[in-house]
């Protein structure tokens, strides 16, 4: 009987995948969720004893939870502020992981091709000052395109999101009126428009409402065949979002600071796509569990090397080499 019990126990332990497994829990931005899911899955294949769980609850939630210490790491499309870093119980590194972009998506009756948007037009539309598709601010940038004499319906995110931060950060740089009246952030008081939750909510409203315009992430637009337009950059060129345009934005943006907290919207450069951004993992310098700290460090090193080769297939741009090298130096401090 004892031998039978021992044999059953041995069999159970030998087939149990969770035995001796370490689980890391993270939460935060939805913007990088597709690439993070891919990374965590691929890393688990290499390290079956490590499970990384991630909840895409938004950048604000990721910052809040890493400050409170309820997760092993957070994620955000918005770098943590000085006040937030001081509030945290431990030193938090803002580690850039990939680059992405916001795109202006639209549903304009009779117009199927690429529509060009100037920064002034986008600011005017979202401020509620440009109300018709036949407004000169739109038609003059699109000679030969016949726009319908219809009202513009603005769609924005109803939930706090890094996607909204990137969009409003850009508008704040190109429009003093937007900066003074609305500002930038994951959640703002929108002057006009209908709210949709997540990329799905915004895209769904745009599909249903003729004459509508909103913003979604490049990867979401690419994967769901959503029509989106080009945006005029600071060099005066209309650029449609692409991996090349996002990479050019990162290469021509201001010098990367030591703490990686930087905005690259409206960068210089003739090929730069102007509504581009890094996204960050929020990593405690000192984990509560030394074993988890070692795993985080190992994962980050894998992410900044092998993981970067997986970005293009999911419409993200990989880290520039000089940034990746600086990230590796910071990872050495993770415990």
CATH code for position 31? 3.40.190.10
Q: Are residues 42 and 156 in the same domain?
A: no
**Based on the domain organization, do 141 and 228 belong to the same domain?**
yes
Asked if the structure places residue 14 within a domain, the reply is no
pLDDT in tens, 63-101: 999 999 999 999 999 899 999 999 998 999 999 999 999
Residues near 118 by Cβ (< 8 Å), separated by ≥ 6? 137, 141, 231, 232
Segments of 109-261 assigned E as strands: 116-117, 153-157, 194-196, 212-217, 230-232, 238-239
Residue 57 above 90 pLDDT? no
| Confidence (pLDDT) at 159 | 85
The CA distance from 56 to 31, in Å, is: 9
Q: What whole-number distance in Å separates Cα of residue 74 and Cα of residue 89?
A: 14
Burial of 59 (0-12, 13-18, 19+ CB in 10 A): buried
For residues 286-314, give the mean pLDDT: 94
Residues 157 and 121 in one domain: yes
pLDDT surpassing 70 at residue 17: no
Nearest partner of 299 among 311, 310, 291, 307, judged by Cα: 307
In a domain, 120, yes or no: yes
* pLDDT over 50 at 40, yes or no: yes
Same domain? For 115 and 85 the reply is no
User: How large is the average pLDDT for residues 106-122?
Assistant: 95
Report the pLDDT averaged over residues 20-44: 93
Structure tokens belonging to residue 58? 């938004």
Tell me if residue 139 falls in helix, strand or coil.
helix
- Indicate if 47 and 66 belong to the same structural domain: yes
Q: Are residues 82 and 146 in the same domain?
A: no
Rounded Cα distance, 199 and 206, in Å: 11
Residue 307 maps to a domain: yes
CB atoms within 10 A of CB 102: 31
The reply to whether 287 and 162 lie within a common domain is no
Dig out the tokens for 35 from the structure.
């690439």
Query: What is the pLDDT at residue 162?
Result: 87
What is the average pLDDT across 142-153?
A: 96
**244 touches 24 (CB < 8 A):** no
- Residue 248 shares a structural domain with residue 110: yes
69 DSSP 8-state letter: T
- Helix and strand numbers, DSSP H then E, in the chain: 13, 11
Residue-level pLDDT at 16? 38
Q: Do the domain assignments include residue 263?
A: no
- In the structure encoding, which two tokens stand for residue 297, read together? 């460090």
Q: How many CA atoms lie within 13 A of 54 on its CB side?
A: 24
Inside any domain, residue 229: yes
Whether the pLDDT of residue 302 is over 50: the answer is yes
Same domain, 105 and 226: yes
Span 242-266, average pLDDT? 90
Residue 160 has pLDDT above 70, yes or no: yes
Residue 4 lies in a domain: no
Residues 31 and 155 in one domain: no
Instruction: Using the predicted structure, report yes or no on whether residue 15 has a pLDDT greater than 60.
Output: no
> Which has more confidence, 153 or 255?
153
Contact 102, 213 (CB under 8 A): no
Residue 61 lies in a domain: yes
Looking at per-residue pLDDT, the higher value among 7 and 141 belongs to 141
Same domain, 106 and 202: yes
Q: Are residues 214 and 121 in the same domain?
A: yes
The answer to whether position 265 is within a domain reads: no
pLDDT at residue 18, as a whole number: 43
| Percent with pLDDT over 70 in the chain | 94
Task: Render pLDDT for 187-241 as a digit per residue (tens, 0 to 9).
Answer: 999 999 999 988 889 999 999 999 999 999 998 898 888 999 999 999 999 999 9
Structurally, the chain folds into a number of domains equal to 2
- Per-residue pLDDT band at 9 (split at 50, 70, 90): very low
Domain of residue 247: give its range: 101-252
- What pLDDT does residue 315 have? 86
Give the mean pLDDT of 2-6.
45
In this structure, the number of other CB atoms found within 10 A of the CB of residue 150 comes to: 16
What average pLDDT does the chain have?
91
Closest CA to 75 of 242, 284, 272, 246: 284
pLDDT at 256: 87
Residue 113: the pLDDT is 84
Asked if residue 58 has pLDDT above 80, the reply is yes
What pLDDT sits at residue 2? 45
Please name the helix (run of DSSP H) or strand (run of DSSP E) that holds residue 221, with its range, or none.
helix 218-223
């Amino acid at each position: 009987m004892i031998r039978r019990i021992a044999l059953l126990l041995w069999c159970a332990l030998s087939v149990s995948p969770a035995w001796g497994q370490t689980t890391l829990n993270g939460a935060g931005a939805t913007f990088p969720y597709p690439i993070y899911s891919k990374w965590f899955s691929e890393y688990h294949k290499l390290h079956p004893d490590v499970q990384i769980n991630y909840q895409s609850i938004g950048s604000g939630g990721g910052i809040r939870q890493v400050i409170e210490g309820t997760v092993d790491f957070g994620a955000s499309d918005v770098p943590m502020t000085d006040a937030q870093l001081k509030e945290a119980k431990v030193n938090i590194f803002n580690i850039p992981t990939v680059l992405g972009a916001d795109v202006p998506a639209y549903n304009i009756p009779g117009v199927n091709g690429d529509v060009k948007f100037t920064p002034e037009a986008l600011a005017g539309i979202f401020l509620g000052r440009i109300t018709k598709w036949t407004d000169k601010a739109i038609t003059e940038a699109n000679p030969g395109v016949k726009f319908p004499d219809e009202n513009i319906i603005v769609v924005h995110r109803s939930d706090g999101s890094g996607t909204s931060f990137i969009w409003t950060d850009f508008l704040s740089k190109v429009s003093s009126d937007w900066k003074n009246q609305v500002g930038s952030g994951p959640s703002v008081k929108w002057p006009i428009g209908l709210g949709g939750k997540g990329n799905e909510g915004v895209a769904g409203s745009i599909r249903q409402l003729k004459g509508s315009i909103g913003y979604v992430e490049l990867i979401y637009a690419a994967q769901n065949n959503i029509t989106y337009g080009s945006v005029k950059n600071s060099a005066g060129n209309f650029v449609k979002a692409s991996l090349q345009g996002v990479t050019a934005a990162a290469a021509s943006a201001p010098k990367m600071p030591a703490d990686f907290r930087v905005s690259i919207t409206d960068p210089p450069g003739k090929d730069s796509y102007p509504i581009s951004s890094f996204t960050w993992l929020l990593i405690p310098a000192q984990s509560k569990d030394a074993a988890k700290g070692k795993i985080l460090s190992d994962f980050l090193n894998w992410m900044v090397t092998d993981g970067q080769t997986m970005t293009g297939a999911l419409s993200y741009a990989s880290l520039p080499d000089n940034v990746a090298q600086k990230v590796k130096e910071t990872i050495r401090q993770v415990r």
